[in-house]
Structure formats: C-alpha cells, structure tokens
C-alpha cells in the first residue's frame, strides 16, 4: 500500500532538474469506510465511504490547486486494464497539470493544504502518483 511520498522519492523529485509542465497521474483505490483514526477532528461525525472522503479532499484541495496555477485535467472512474495485470484494479484516476515543479511543491507544502490532506489519507486504501512530462513531438 502506498499513500505518501517516500523520503527517498521525495528527495529525488525535489533535487531533479525538471522544468516546465508536470502532469501528475493519480491512481486511487478507496477504503470501504474512510479511516480518520490518524486525523481526529477532521472527519465527519458519522462514518463515510473512502470515495466520499476523497470528494471532501478534492473540494478542499481545489482552491490550493488553483492558487498554485495548476488545474485538474481529468477525474473519472477507472475501468479494468485492457493491457496490464488483471488483478490490479483502481477505483478512480486523476490527472492534475502543474505549471512547474516549484508550483507543485508550493501546493504540496501549503499550510492550508496540509490541514486538509488527512481526507486523502483517510479515503485511500492504496494509490500511485506518477509524474508525467509532456513531450512536444511531431507525429507524422
């Protein structure tokens, strides 16, 4: 299960010389019931699904995403792979475009964002976050 950036992966990303737009591919698998045990006081009084907790996260995170000049490109339900492991399944997928690495880092370290990040952690049973670099190629 992967919910947060590892120290080593974070260090490599931070020290990288990435320039220009970065699109973050998020693969999401939700908890049946959101687990707010590590974030007391953040969750609602009644139990909610992981999917509902992720929607709370997105609604709370969107102002910080926009403040960083970033934008959601796609958010939707994931289907089974046509090519890929049959046993690997994801509930939803999210693509977020960030203008530059520094804007992504500013978003991820924003004090307001850090206060609501627990919705994401409560929502997810597993996730993947893959930085994608758009290629400007001419296809003939």
pLDDT 10s digits, 51-65: 999 999 999 999 999
Question: Cα separations (Å) of 70 from 45, 53, 78, 106, 139?
Answer: 32, 22, 22, 11, 27
Exposed/middle/buried for 21, CB within 10 Å: 0-12, 13-18, 19+? Answer: middle
pLDDT value of residue 35: 97
Q: In which domain, by residue range, is 74 found? A: 7-132
Q: Count how many domains the chain has.
A: 1
Distance CA 135, CA 110 (A): 29
pLDDT in tens, 55-95: 999 999 999 999 999 999 999 999 999 999 999 999 999 99
CATH number at residue 61: 3.30.70.100
Dihedrals phi, psi of 133, to nearest 5 degrees: -110, 115
């Amino acid at each position: 299960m992967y919910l947060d950036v590892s120290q080593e992966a974070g260090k490599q990303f931070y020290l990288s010389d990435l320039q220009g737009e970065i699109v973050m591919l998020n693969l999401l698998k939700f908890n049946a019931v959101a687990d707010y045990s590590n974030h007391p006081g953040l969750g609602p009084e009644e139990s909610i699904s992981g999917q509902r907790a992720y929607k709370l996260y997105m609604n709370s995170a969107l102002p910080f995403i926009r403040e960083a000049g970033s934008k959601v490109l796609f958010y939707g339900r994931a289907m089974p792979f046509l090519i890929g492991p049959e046993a690997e399944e994801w509930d939803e997928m999210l693509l977020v475009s960030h203008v530059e690495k520094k804007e992504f880092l500013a978003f991820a370290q924003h004090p307001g964002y850090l206060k609501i990040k627990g919705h994401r952690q409560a929502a997810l049973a597993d996730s993947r976050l893959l930085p994608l670099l758009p290629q400007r190629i001419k296809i003939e």
